[in-house]
Structure 1
Amino acid sequence: MKYGNIFTLILKGYHCNNYISRWEALLTHKEYQVIRMLCCGKQYHHIGKSLGITIKTVSTHKIKALKKLGAPSMSSLILQFKR
């Protein structure tokens, strides 16, 4: 499954609302934006440009967000939606 499909799954009625609420509660606004954009298939340079931050900062936000969400990788985060 490609990262960009997560939000498509949400829109199709998968039981992901609890995950999204949890994400919003645990993450800073920037961390949430970065994770959301990564899940939509955006590349680091595009995210950085869109948010006005460096690629390094995009990476830092991703790492911090994954740690807060208890996911070792984006792939494992995606698998949470399939359970």
Structure 2
Amino acid sequence: MTEVQSPWPQGTECVAKYSFKGTSEQDLPFNKGDVLTIIVVTKDPNWYHAKNAAGQEGTIPANYVQKREGVKSGGKLSLMP
């Protein structure tokens, strides 16, 4: 049984759990730990259209990224990583 995650809204920041080389020209390659921003929620729940810190855009696999969460450190809220 595969877990279907609810789509993240546009503008959501996510962090790569794995590196992704891409399989087509539409894909956005990234490395583990990269921060990506969701631009468009696609009709396919397994893919997002996102951009990286350099402004490059493309499709990314939803199961390769996790939502970027805030972490409390010394009483202050900071973003990971």
TM over 0.5: no
Higher normalized helix content (fraction of residues): 1
TM-score by length of 2: 0.28
TM-score by length of 1: 0.28
Higher normalized strand content (fraction of residues): 2
Larger-Rg structure: 2
Task: Identify which of structures 1 and 2 has the higher relative contact order when contacts are C-alpha pairs closer than 8 Å and 6+ apart.
Answer: 1
